[in-house]
């Protein structure tokens, strides 16, 4: 059952000036949020103390997190090491001395907090991770995002036409900047799982735009006469049901991950939910207006036949 009639004719591009203006404002605000407030980098990027403990009896990570919170050791990253007895704890130490002293003090505080709740816990390892490792991860993350976006642009340029590649590049920058800007504005912790979700947002967003772009090409080739604005509107309308259904079920999946996946994946789920909303709206209100203003036309998408050029001009 279709949510929207594929033969509907909603004039989405009628609002293109308003929608693009809103997008530009959001991009500027996102850049300001990132540059002024900055990202709230997690321990993956800032460094900190790594503590590993072992329980004689199985333990849940939520129980460990509650024990640390009760002792004032908040914002710790608690993960299971492949079982129910070995636990990894990462947290940012206070600046009370050298790295070695901090690591020892924090490890002792962690062990004391855990033993207050469960005496069957022992310290197996502790270490200090310097911020230079986090800087390398940040640089690698930025490079990864850039490589993905440029690779997508090259792919679309080869599959469709250069105007589609430029529109896709603008849309990906739009979606990524606004998503990261929202995280900076609300000071949501930015760790490796959030970085992974930003890359996933890039992939999700371009998938939706490829569907619309492919429909644009089909309509251009199948239509004898038609203005570009009409063709783009028809493409958006004919793929709208698919766009909404995909976004809805992906959002439901991310919501389930947020509520039942535990705190370790909260950042990933929230970032994906933001990216799904931004990516879906940009497929309708941003990518296609950019494509229209770039001057896409029927002749740009017609296959060229060298043996008989006359056939390439036929609708």
Structural domains in the chain, CATH included, are 12-40+134-301 (1.20.1640.10), 48-129 (3.30.70.3400)
User: For residues 39 and 89, what is the distance between their CA atoms, to the nearest angstrom?
Assistant: 22
Burial of 148 (0-12, 13-18, 19+ CB in 10 A): middle
User: For residues 207 and 24, what is the distance between their CA atoms, to the nearest angstrom?
Assistant: 22
Specify the pLDDT at position 96: 43
Cα dihedral across residues 29, 31, 32, 34: positive or negative: positive
Comparing 304 with 113, the larger pLDDT belongs to: 113
Percent of the chain past pLDDT 90, that is, above it, reads: 22
User: For residues 255 and 284, what is the distance between their CA atoms, to the nearest angstrom?
Assistant: 23
For the chain, give the mean pLDDT: 82
Specify the pLDDT at position 95: 53
pLDDT per position as a tens digit, 63-113 = 898 898 888 887 788 888 777 888 888 887 655 444 444 677 888 889 899
- E strand segments, 141-242: 189-190
pLDDT per position as a tens digit, 153-170 = 788 778 777 888 888 889
Question: In this predicted structure, which of 1-10, 256-265, 293-302 has the lowest mean pLDDT?
Answer: 1-10
Locus of tokens 């772009």? 213
Whether pLDDT at 211 is above 50: yes
- Could you tell me the two tokens for 215? 């429909």
- Could you tell me the two tokens for 113? 């907090």
pTM of this prediction? 0.77
User: For residues 162 and 202, what is the distance between their CA atoms, to the nearest angstrom?
Assistant: 19
What is the enclosing helix (H) or strand (E) of 121? Answer: strand 121-129
Nearest-10 crossing angle of helices 192-222, 162-185? 150
- What is the distance, to the nearest Å, from the Cα of residue 147 to the centroid of all Cα atoms in its chain? 15
Total residue count of the chain as it appears in this document: 315
Whether pLDDT at 18 is above 60: yes
Closest alpha carbon to 213 in 251, 153, 167: 167
- What is the distance, to the nearest Å, from the Cα of residue 168 to the centroid of all Cα atoms in its chain? 16
pLDDT per position as a tens digit, 228-284 = 888 889 989 988 888 899 999 999 999 999 888 777 788 899 999 999 999 999 988
pLDDT-derived band at 311, boundaries 50, 70, 90: very low
User: For residues 274 and 272, what is the distance between their CA atoms, to the nearest angstrom?
Assistant: 5
């Amino acid at each position: 059952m279709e949510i929207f009639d594929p033969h509907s004719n909603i004039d989405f591009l009628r609002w293109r000036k308003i929608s693009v203006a809103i997008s530009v404002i959001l991009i500027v605000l996102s850049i300001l949020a990132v540059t002024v407030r900055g990202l709230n980098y997690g321990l993956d990027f800032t460094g900190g103390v790594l503590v590993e403990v072992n329980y004689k009896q199985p333990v849940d990570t939520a129980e460990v997190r509650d024990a640390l919170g009760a002792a004032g050791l908040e914002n710790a990253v608690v993960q299971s090491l492949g079982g129910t007895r070995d636990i990894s704890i990462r947290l940012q130490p206070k600046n009370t001395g050298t790295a070695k002293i901090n690591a020892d003090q924090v490890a002792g505080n962690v062990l004391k907090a855990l033993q207050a709740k469960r005496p069957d816990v022992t310290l197996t390892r502790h270490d200090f991770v310097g911020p230079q490792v986090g800087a390398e991860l940040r640089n690698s993350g930025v490079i990864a995002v850039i490589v993905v976006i440029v690779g997508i642009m090259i792919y679309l340029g080869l599959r469709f036409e250069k105007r589609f590649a430029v529109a896709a590049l603008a849309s990906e920058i739009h979606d990524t900047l606004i998503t990261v800007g929202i995280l900076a504005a609300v000071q949501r912790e930015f760790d490796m799982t959030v970085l992974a979700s930003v890359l996933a947002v890039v992939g999700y967003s371009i998938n939706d735009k490829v569907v619309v772009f492919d429909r644009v090409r089909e309509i251009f080739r199948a239509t004898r006469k038609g203005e570009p604005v009409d063709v783009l509107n028809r493409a958006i309308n004919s793929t709208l049901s698919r766009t909404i259904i995909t976004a809805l079920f992906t959002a439901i999946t991310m919501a389930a991950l947020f509520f039942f996946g535990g705190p370790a994946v909260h950042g990933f789920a929230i970032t994906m939910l933001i990216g799904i909303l931004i990516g879906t709206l940009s497929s309708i209100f941003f990518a296609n207006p950019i494509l229209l203003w770039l001057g896409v036309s029927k002749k740009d998408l017609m296959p060229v036949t060298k043996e008989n050029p006359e056939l390439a001009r036929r609708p």
